[in-house]
Amino acid sequence: MKSKYREMKEITHEDYLEFVKSKDSVIIENTEIKLQKKWNTKSFGPPEDYSLERTTIWSFPNRGKWATHKGNYRGNWSPYIPRNLILKYTKKGEWVLDQMMGSGTTLVEAKLLERNAIGVDINLDAVMVARDRLNFSYNLLFSGYKEPIIKTFWGDARNLNKIADESIDLIATHPPYANIISYTKNKKLSDDLSQLPFEDYLQEMKKVAEESFRVLKPGKICAILIGDTRKHKHYIPISYRIMETFLDAGFILKEDIIKIQWNMKTTRERWKAKEYEFYLIAHEHIFIFRKPRTEKEYKKYKFSIKWWENDKI
C-alpha cells in the first residue's frame, strides 16, 4: 500500500555538486549556513586524552569540532554522541541509520569510523548541508582505511520505503521536539515534525518508532536523543512520552543516559534573569532501545518494562 508520507529520494554527491553550482549557502530556521564545498581538514577525531563514556551521565562542554563538525546547525548533536554509539554498538562495515540527520553529524562520524550509513531529512537544504559536511577526504591519509558507503535521502522518517526490513545495525537519531525549534520556519514544510502540536507530534513519532523497528535487525540498537520542555512554568516530559512510544512499537529499553546540556540556544534559554521559581532544564535523555531477537525475548523483558500492565501483580 502506498504511504501517505513522502517517499525517499536519493540525493547523490553529483546532485550536491549541481546544487552548489548556484548556491553558496542555505537558510535553516533563521541561520544562514555556508556551504563550504570542499574541506581541507586535518583533525579527524576527539583530543587524544578523550576516552569513551562509561556511565549513564554524558557531558561534553567542548562539543567537538573535529573533521567538518561546525556546531552551527540548529539542534545539532555533539559528534561525541554518535561516536560513542557507533563504537559501542557496531563493527566496521555495518550499517548506521540517522533518519533525521540534519547537518549529517552521524554520517560524518560513520565515515570516519568506517561504517556504512544512510541519512534522511525532510528538508532538502539540510540534505545538502549534510552532503557538504561529507565532502572531505580521509582515506588518503590512513593506510588500511576502507571507504564506507554513505547514502543520503530527501525523505520522511515515517516512510523509509527504500530501506529493507531488518537491514540496519544501528539507528542513532535526534528528532525535533514538538513546537520548540522549527527547522523550516521560512518554508513551512508541512511534513516537518517540529511544526506539530504536542499530541499530534506524539502520534507521528509513533510512525517513526514503527519504521525504526521495521528496518532494524533483531537484537540491534536504536538510540534517540530527546529533551523536555516547560509550559506555564511546569515541566512537560516529552522524553518519557517518546520513550513509551518506542516501547509500544516493540522495543525494549537498555539504557536511559542523561546528557548534560551546555549550549542551550533553544527557547529554553529565554529565561535570562538570575532567579526563577523553577529550575532551568539542563539535561536531555539518550534512550538506548534494543529490538528483541524473538517474541519470547520481548515477553521476558516486557514484565520489567511495563510491570504495571502485568495482571499477576
Ligand X SMILES: C[S@@+](CC[C@H](N)C(=O)[O-])C[C@H]1O[C@@H](n2cnc3c(N)ncnc32)[C@H](O)[C@@H]1O
Where do contacts with ligand X occur on this chain (CB under 6 A)?
Answer: 73, 75-77, 99-103, 105, 120-123, 126, 156-158, 174, 176, 183, 191-194
79 versus 148: smaller Cβ distance to ligand X: 79
Least distance to ligand X, CB of residue 264, Å: 14
- Min dist CB 306 to ligand X, Å, is 27
C-alpha to C-alpha distance for 262 and 265, rounded to whole angstroms? 9
> Contact 89/255 with Cβ under 8 angstroms?
no
Cβ closer to ligand X: 99 or 179?
Answer: 99
CB 249 within 8 A of CB 212: yes
d(CA 146, CA 285): 33
Is the CB of residue 153 less than 8 Å from the CB of residue 10?
Answer: yes
CA distances from 193 to 157, 158, 254 (A): 9, 10, 26
Q: Alpha-carbon Rg of the chain, whole angstroms?
A: 19
Sign of the dihedral through C-alpha 128, 132, 133, 135: positive
Closest approach of ligand X to the CB of residue 101, in Å: 6
CA distance 4 to 307: 35
C-alpha cell at 270: 529565554
For the bound state, the minimum distance from the C-beta of residue 184 to ligand X, rounded and expressed in Å, comes to 6
Q: Is 116 or 159 the residue whose CB approaches ligand X more closely?
A: 159
Q: Nearer Cβ to ligand X, position 223 or 243?
A: 223
Query: What is the closest distance, in whole angstroms, from the C-beta atom of residue 225 to ligand X in the complex?
Result: 8
Cβ closest to ligand X, residue 19 vs residue 183: 183
Which single residue brings its beta carbon nearest to ligand X?
102
Do the bridges between strand 150-154 and strand 9-10 make them parallel or antiparallel, or are there none, so unpaired? Answer: antiparallel
| C-alpha–C-alpha distance, residues 145 and 136, integer Å | 14
- Choose between 64 and 292: whose C-beta lies nearer to ligand X: 64
Nearest distance, CB of residue 254 and ligand X, angstroms: 20
